[in-house]
């Protein structure tokens, strides 16, 4: 049979960039003399040239992958770039191979280029049941060296065509990946990350593979190029790096045999829904009223209001069953959970689904991938991407997301691990669909400070602190499980003030908040008769969490934030205000966040007010430089604001 492939030719973008390195495998004296990379002065190494070429050998029909790399070592921490580990997979029938390993270290000695070659005896192999690990270390690698490495692998594992990582721990000047895919292999191709391709081009090459009896296949030859790629350095406020590292991945969809057979590898969502429906660990555990007969007490089943009943059922599951920390969709048994009272997230939340549906409350399971597990693929069904389940409950015109694994979360609150943007809502009657998952409400932290008097060279006052939403969960748990340790932690955290008394007030674990009062004394700094006091006795941010020169992935808080702080100083005959901090009013672009700090002075009081709003849960990388400046101002205000008073 003849297999011809019809393709869309993508627009090719010309690229240009200024550099002092040659983006090929040649090494010059000028490159060895360079000591830094202007676009990232913190880089430990620079990948100058990264080249890959994957194609199916027209004689062996194995997948051949040719690799070439050229790397500049800039700092001592980059010396380990000369250490390589290459994993070759195997099974009972076949194993991957590697050949033609070459490595050279280039150094500049007395103004001359000196080459040190990788020797065959320096290449080692470690075997286990699943793969062979090929290891080698290039000789004489030091700061200033340039190393070049090349090799070729051969594989019969075509289900996963060779992926390509454009981005890694070091900045990359030039990365090119070439592929030649025969027309009898249909792959889903997925480009991950936010960095655009400089070149994305493809063309048909006729009759690239030939078999007996005149059978042949065309190939799609593709070329992808990225340039000036920043290093991926993980920083706070993000999910797993697998969501954002720029790369190309392949998933085999259909194989067309030369004998005419067609093997469908990747399912449609209709296929996936059917698989889930008959799955003993999922579909067979859903909406089975017989499983939960007589589980709920009459005090709950007799409630007439649907929302009140749903909340009561949710609280019943929280109080009765305990999560064992497992989240795999494996060996799931709601029946066993009812008996043992301990189970996985699938068992607990599917029990909750059964209880709710048995009481005629509309409930759907939502499969999702947690923040540490990468986004679930949207291009095609990959059920193994999903490692968690929550519920969507619809009552009247409102929807609620539920997860009954944490006793410190209230009805409608998901655990932080589940805030990964979207999931797949399962509906066996109407078909599954993608479901956005976002937290609408703000989570807040606030401190209200009142210094009521100044006696014996110290201020006497109180602090009322309150946390709501996601900021309250950890504190609630710590307080309930060990209130003594919680108090001791406060003393350690607030070592610059003296806590005379501490009390958690109006506490109710069914509410998403915790409020506490502290009676304090504060000893300010004295210079002569002048008193110097930083008004921020408690801070929200000790330092700016954003330190990178450039960030190519989003800033993901998970939820929207508000931080509030106020201080009131009652002035009496003992003290007089000489100087108060200046007002600050600063905003992020598009009203995405704001910082307000001001003061008000009357005859007998000084009031300071500070508020920080993050109005988005997720910020695109374009906001990063603005967020850096924004947080600089926040930290500067907290650490360096001073009230100057005079002792009378």
Give the integer Cα–Cα distance in Å for 5 and 261.
17
Please report the pLDDT score of residue 289 as a whole number.
86
Please report the pLDDT score of residue 13 as a whole number.
34
Instruction: Say whether domain 269-436 belongs to CATH 3.40.50.300.
Output: no
Give the integer Cα–Cα distance in Å for 370 and 366.
12
Q: Which helix (H) or strand (E) holds 137?
A: strand 131-137
Please report the pLDDT score of residue 550 as a whole number.
87
Q: b or e along 482-503 (b: 16 or more beta carbons within 10 Å of the residue's beta carbon)?
A: eeeebbeeeeeebeebebeebe
Please report the pLDDT score of residue 265 as a whole number.
79
Give the integer Cα–Cα distance in Å for 383 and 390.
15
What are the backbone dihedrals phi and psi of residue 628, each rounded to the nearest 5 degrees, phi first? -60, -45
Please report the pLDDT score of residue 128 as a whole number.
92
Class of domain 442-647: mainly beta
Please report the pLDDT score of residue 308 as a whole number.
97
Taking all residues of the chain, what is their mean pLDDT, rounded to a whole number? 92
Closest CA to 295 of 360, 352, 365: 352
Q: How many CB atoms lie within 10 A of CB 284?
A: 15
Instruction: Give the pair of three-digit tokens for residue 219.
Output: 């190939």
Provide the whole-model pTM. 0.87
Q: Which CATH architecture has domain 2-258?
A: Sandwich (2.60)
322, burial (CB in 10 Å: exposed 0-12, middle 13-18, buried 19+): middle
Instruction: Give the pair of three-digit tokens for residue 306.
Output: 């649907």
Please report the pLDDT score of residue 2 as a whole number.
37
Q: What is the DSSP string of 44-83?
A: SEEEEEEEEEEEE-TTT-PEEEEEEEEEEE-SGGGGGGGE
CATH 3.10.620.30 domain position(s) in the chain: 269-436
Please report the pLDDT score of residue 618 as a whole number.
97
Please report the pLDDT score of residue 11 as a whole number.
32
CA 221 to chain centre: 33
What are the backbone dihedrals phi and psi of residue 494, each rounded to the nearest 5 degrees, phi first? -110, 50
Please report the pLDDT score of residue 19 as a whole number.
55
pLDDT along the chain (648 residues), means of 10: 35 41 93 92 96 94 96 97 96 94 97 96 94 96 98 92 96 97 92 94 92 82 96 94 95 84 84 95 92 94 97 97 94 95 97 97 97 92 94 97 96 97 97 96 97 90 96 94 88 86 92 95 90 95 93 95 96 88 96 96 93 97 97 96 91
CATH 2.60.40.3140 domain position(s) in the chain: 2-258
Using one digit for the tens of pLDDT, what is the confidence trace for 457-479? 899 999 999 999 999 999 999 99
Please report the pLDDT score of residue 493 as a whole number.
81
CATH 2.60.120.1130 domain position(s) in the chain: 442-647
């Amino acid at each position: 049979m003849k297999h011809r492939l019809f393709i869309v030719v993508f627009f090719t973008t010309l690229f240009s960039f200024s550099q002092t390195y040659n983006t090929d495998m040649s090494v010059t004296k000028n490159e060895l003399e360079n000591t830094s990379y202007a676009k990232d002065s913190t880089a430990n190494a620079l990948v100058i040239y990264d080249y890959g070429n994957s194609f199916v050998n027209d004689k062996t029909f194995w997948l051949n992958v040719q690799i070439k790399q050229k790397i500049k070592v800039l700092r001592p921490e980059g010396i380990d770039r000369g250490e390589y580990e290459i994993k070759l997979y195997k099974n009972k029938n076949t194993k991957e191979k590697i050949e033609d390993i070459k490595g050279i270290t280039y150094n500049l000695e007395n103004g001359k280029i000196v080459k040190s070659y990788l020797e065959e005896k320096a290449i080692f192999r470690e075997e286990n049941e699943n793969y062979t690990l090929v290891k080698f270390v290039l000789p004489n690698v030091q700061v200033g060296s340039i190393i070049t490495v090349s090799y070729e692998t051969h594989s019969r594992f075509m289900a996963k065509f060779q992926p390509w990582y454009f981005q890694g721990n070091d900045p990359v000047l030039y990365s090119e990946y070439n592929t030649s895919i025969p027309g009898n292999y249909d792959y889903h191709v997925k480009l991950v990350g936010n960095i655009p391709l400089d070149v994305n081009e493809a063309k048909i090459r006729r009759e690239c593979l030939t078999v007996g009896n005149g059978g042949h296949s065309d190939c799609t030859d593709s070329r992808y190029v990225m340039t000036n790629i920043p290093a991926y350095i993980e920083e706070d406020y993000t999910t797993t790096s697998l969501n954002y590292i720029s790369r190309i991945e392949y998933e085999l969809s259909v194989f067309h045999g030369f004998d005419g057979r067609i093997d469908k590898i990747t399912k449609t969502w209709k296929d996936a829904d059917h698989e889930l429906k008959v799955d003993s660990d999922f579909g067979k555990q859903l909406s089975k009223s017989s499983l939960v007969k007589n589980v709920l007490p009459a005090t709950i089943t007799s409630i007439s209001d649907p929302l009140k009943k749903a909340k009561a059922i949710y609280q019943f599951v929280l109080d009765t069953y305990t999560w064992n920390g497992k989240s795999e969709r494996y060996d799931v048994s709601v029946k066993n959970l009812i008996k043992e009272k301990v189970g996985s997230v699938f068992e607990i939340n599917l029990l909750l689904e059964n209880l709710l549906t048995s009481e005629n409350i509309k409930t759907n399971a939502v499969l999702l991938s947690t923040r540490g597990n990468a986004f679930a693929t949207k291009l095609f069904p990959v059920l193994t991407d999903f490692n968690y389940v929550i519920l969507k409950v619809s009552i009247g015109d409102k929807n609620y997301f539920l997860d009954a694994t944490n006793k410190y979360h209230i009805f409608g609150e998901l655990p932080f691990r589940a805030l990964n943007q979207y999931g797949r809502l399962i509906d066996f009657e109407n078909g599954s669909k993608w479901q956005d998952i976002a937290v609408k409400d703000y989570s807040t932290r606030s401190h209200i400070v009142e210094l009521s008097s100044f006696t014996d060279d110290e201020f006497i006052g109180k602090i009322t602190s309150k946390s709501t939403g996601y900021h309250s969960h950890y504190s609630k748990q710590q307080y309930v499980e060990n209130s003594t340790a919680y108090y001791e932690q406060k003393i350690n955290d607030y070592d610059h003030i003296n806590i005379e008394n501490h009390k958690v007030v109006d506490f109710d674990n069914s509410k998403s908040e915790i409020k506490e009062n502290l009676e304090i004394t504060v000893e300010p700094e004295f210079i002569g008769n002048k008193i110097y006091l930083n008004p921020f006795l408690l801070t929200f941010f000790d330092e700016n969490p954003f330190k990178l020169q450039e960030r190519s992935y989003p800033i993901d808080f998970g939820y929207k934030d508000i931080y509030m702080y106020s201080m009131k100083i009652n002035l009496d005959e003992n003290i007089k205000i000489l100087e108060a901090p200046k007002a600050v009013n600063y905003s992020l672009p598009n009203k995405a966040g704001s910082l307000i700090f001001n003061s008000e002075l009357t005859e007998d009081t000084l009031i300071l007010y500070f508020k920080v709003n993050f109005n988005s849960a997720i910020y695109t990388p374009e906001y990063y430089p603005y967020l850096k400046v924004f947080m600089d101002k926040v930290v500067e205000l907290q650490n360096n604001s001073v009230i100057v008073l005079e002792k009378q």
